[in-house]
């Protein structure tokens, strides 16, 4: 700075100081702001200008770049637009097609249902008659099923009662009553087990038990033979065969034999039975027997006498139960006989024919034949061809087995032939069977070189001490029958179904016999082990 400038400045500051001393604050501030204001426009103008130009430049650049980019973008968007359009039209086409096919389907369905309706209408009269019948039978079936289910539920409740404490069980049962038991028809091993169990259980229910001797005979005779059965009366009888009450298959009260054998007539004495039972104060008749005895039971039930049935027969032919007691013992005895015949047959190179019981059912012959290892088994359910039997015997000989065991059920017969009978059955009774073994021996004669002998095992099969199975089954049946009496569930038969003891309507006892299914598992097993079944 020159001297001139310096002095000018100091002059200026001096002047300001003077003003300050003399002047106002406003004047001072106005002076102080002035140079700042004057400076600002210049700067602002400058910065505004630069800002403006920067913006212009920026926008020019943006415009330029926008212009440069524009052709690329529009190409892309054109493509997108094109594809969108294509997509749209494809969609529209698809939905149109779907609509069309839906319509076609709808109309096809409508047409089908119209046709079905038309045909249903035309069929209606025939169907309605048919359907009414079907409906009726369905209702009856439903009713029966319901009744069965109720009874099954009762059986189950009774079974669960058994698990209840003694006091609780007894208190739910009605008070003391009287029943009469008898063993009808032929005897069967296990009858005493039934009587023993029935009496013991009935007594525990507070029921008095009477027993008629020799089936219905004891009830019907002028001086009735009816005993009181208590625990002492049935003590020690479990292993005994037969029946401590005695049996009779002649004393049918609906056809009771009267007069000497040569002048015999038959009378309906069922009313006398009813009267006797009333006199004795018996409320339930308990019948142990086969289909014959159960048919009588059904008739009594229909006459208003409550009946409980216990199935019995060595033949095992009652459809209502899977097993009857007696079969097992009979099969054991017959198996023992087959074993015994083996040694003597072998010693003499003979054909041994063993005739077994079973009437029209081949259970004893089939079971014992399999268990004893018979070579041929002939049963009533499979009519036999004697040539097949002869061929089997010859084949065995050719293979070195010089003997053969042939088991034949008493009801077996050759195809086209007849059952062998000993005597004709009198009115209301079956014929006595016998001679099936002998008949077979005659048919075989000349068809094989062996000597042939026939053994008829007969009533040995029904006798003797019952097997453990029969004692057990008899006991279970007896207990169940006493429970039915205690519960007042009559018109019922105790039965083994599978492994469970149940009760079924008495009608079932006689509805359908239980025969050996010719294509069943037992016959298949027999064939599988090389046994000739005769057909």
Residues 91-110 that bind ligand F6P (CB under 6 A): none
CA distances to 202, 285, 309, 492 from 179, in Å = 9, 6, 13, 15
Q: Residue-wise over 355-376: b if at least 16 C-beta within 10 A, else e?
A: bbbbbbbbbbbbbbbbebebbb
Task: Render 289-321 in DSSP notation, one character per residue.
Answer: E-HHHHHHHHHHHHTT--EEEEEB-TT--BTTS
Size of the site for ligand F6P (CB under 6 A): 12
Packing angle, helices 291-302 and 270-280, rounded to 10: 70
Q: How many CB atoms lie within 10 A of CB 282?
A: 23
Q: Is 311 in the site for ligand F6P (CB under 6 A)?
A: no
Q: Is 406 in the site for ligand F6P (CB under 6 A)?
A: no
Q: Is 257 in the site for ligand F6P (CB under 6 A)?
A: no
**315, 317, 375, 483: the active-site residue:** 315
Q: Which residues 6+ apart lie within 8 Å of 10 measured at CB?
A: none
Q: Which residue is nearest to ligand F6P (CB)?
A: 357
Q: Residues in the chain, how many?
A: 535
Spatial separation of the C-alpha atoms in residues 343 and 350, rounded to whole Å: 10
* Main-chain phi, psi angles of 256, to 5 degrees: -80, 130
Look up 315 and say whether it is catalytic: yes
Which CB, 470 or 532, lies closer to ligand F6P? 470
Spatial separation of the C-alpha atoms in residues 417 and 145, rounded to whole Å: 42
Stretch in the footprint of ligand F6P (CB under 6 A) among 90-98, 123-131, 191-199, 352-360: 352-360
CA distances to 186, 361, 366, 458 from 409, in Å = 18, 8, 8, 11
Which CB, 290 or 478, lies closer to ligand F6P? 290
Minimum CB separation of residue 268 from ligand F6P in Å reads 22
Residue 533 is encoded by which pair of tokens? 């079944």
Identify the residue among 177, 462, 476, 480 touching ligand F6P (CB under 6 A): 462
Q: Is 421 in the site for ligand F6P (CB under 6 A)?
A: no
The strand pairing partners of 405, in sequence order, are 352
Q: Is 249 in the site for ligand F6P (CB under 6 A)?
A: yes
Strands, E, within 80-163: which ranges? none
Which CB, 270 or 313, lies closer to ligand F6P? 313
The strand pairing partners of 453, in sequence order, are 352
The strand pairing partners of 496, in sequence order, are 501
Identify the residue among 196, 201, 359, 502 touching ligand F6P (CB under 6 A): 359
Stretch in the footprint of ligand F6P (CB under 6 A) among 124-132, 219-227, 308-316, 387-395: 308-316
Stretch in the footprint of ligand F6P (CB under 6 A) among 47-55, 60-68, 260-268, 312-320: 312-320
Q: Is 315 in the site for ligand F6P (CB under 6 A)?
A: yes
Which CB, 361 or 494, lies closer to ligand F6P? 361
Q: Is 295 in the site for ligand F6P (CB under 6 A)?
A: no
* Main-chain phi, psi angles of 531, to 5 degrees: -80, 135
Minimum CB separation of residue 313 from ligand F6P in Å reads 5
Minimum CB separation of residue 315 from ligand F6P in Å reads 5
Q: Is 358 in the site for ligand F6P (CB under 6 A)?
A: yes
Q: Is 201 in the site for ligand F6P (CB under 6 A)?
A: no
- Site of interaction with ligand F6P (CB under 6 A): 186, 249, 313-315, 357-359, 410, 432-433, 462
């Amino acid at each position: 700075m020159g001297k001139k400038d310096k002095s000018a400045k100091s002059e200026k500051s001096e002047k300001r100081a003077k003003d300050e001393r003399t002047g106002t604050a406003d004047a001072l501030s106005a002076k102080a702001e002035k140079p700042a204001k004057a400076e600002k426009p210049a700067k602002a103008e400058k910065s505004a200008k630069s800002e403006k130009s920067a913006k212009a430049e920026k926008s020019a650049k943006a415009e330029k770049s926008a212009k440069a980019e524009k052709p690329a973008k529009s190409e892309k968007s054109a493509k997108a637009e094109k594809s969108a359009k294509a997509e749209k039209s494809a969609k529209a086409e698809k939905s149109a097609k779907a609509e069309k096919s839906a319509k076609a389907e709808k109309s096809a369905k409508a047409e089908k249902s119209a046709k079905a309706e038309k045909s249903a209408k035309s069929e209606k009269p025939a169907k309605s008659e048919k359907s009414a019948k079907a409906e009726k039978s369905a209702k009856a079936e439903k009713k029966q099923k319901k009744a069965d289910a109720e009874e099954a539920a009762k059986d189950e409740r009774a079974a669960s009662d058994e698990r209840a404490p003694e006091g609780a069980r007894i208190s739910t049962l009605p008070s003391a009553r009287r029943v009469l038991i008898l063993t009808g028809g032929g005897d069967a091993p296990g009858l005493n087990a039934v009587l023993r169990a029935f009496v013991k259980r009935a007594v525990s229910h507070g029921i008095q038990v009477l027993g008629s001797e020799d089936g219905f005979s004891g009830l019907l005779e002028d001086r009735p033979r009816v005993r009181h059965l208590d625990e002492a009366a049935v003590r020690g009888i479990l292993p005994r065969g037969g029946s401590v009450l005695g049996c009779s298959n002649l004393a049918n009260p609906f056809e009771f034999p009267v007069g000497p054998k040569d002048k015999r007539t038959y009378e309906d004495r069922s009313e006398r039975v009813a009267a006797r039972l009333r006199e004795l104060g018996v409320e339930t008749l308990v019948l142990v027997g086969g289909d014959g005895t159960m048919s009588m039971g059904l008739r009594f039930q229909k006459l208003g006498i409550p009946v409980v049935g216990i199935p019995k027969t060595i033949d095992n032919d009652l459809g209502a139960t899977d097993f009857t007691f007696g079969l097992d013992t009979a099969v054991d005895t017959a198996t023992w006989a087959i074993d015994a015949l083996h040694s003597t047959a072998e010693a003499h190179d003979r054909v041994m024919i063993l005739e077994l019981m079973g009437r029209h059912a081949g259970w004893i012959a089939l079971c014992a034949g399999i268990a004893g290892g018979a070579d041929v088994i002939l049963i009533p359910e499979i009519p036999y061809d004697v040539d097949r039997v002869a061929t089997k015997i010859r084949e065995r000989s050719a293979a070195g087995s010089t003997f053969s065991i042939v088991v034949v059920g008493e009801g077996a017969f050759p195809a086209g032939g007849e059952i062998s009978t000993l005597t004709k059955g009198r009115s209301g009774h079956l014929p006595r069977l016998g001679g099936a073994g002998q008949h077979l021996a005659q048919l075989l004669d000349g068809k094989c070189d062996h000597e042939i002998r026939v053994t008829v095992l007969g009533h040995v099969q029904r006798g003797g001490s019952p097997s453990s199975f029969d004692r057990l089954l008899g006991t279970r049946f007896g207990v169940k029958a006493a429970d039915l009496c205690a519960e007042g569930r009559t018109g019922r038969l105790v039965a083994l179904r599978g492994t469970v003891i149940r009760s079924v309507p008495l009608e079932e006892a006689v509805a359908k016999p239980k025969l050996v299914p010719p294509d069943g598992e037992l016959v298949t097993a027999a064939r599988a082990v090389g046994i000739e079944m005769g057909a």
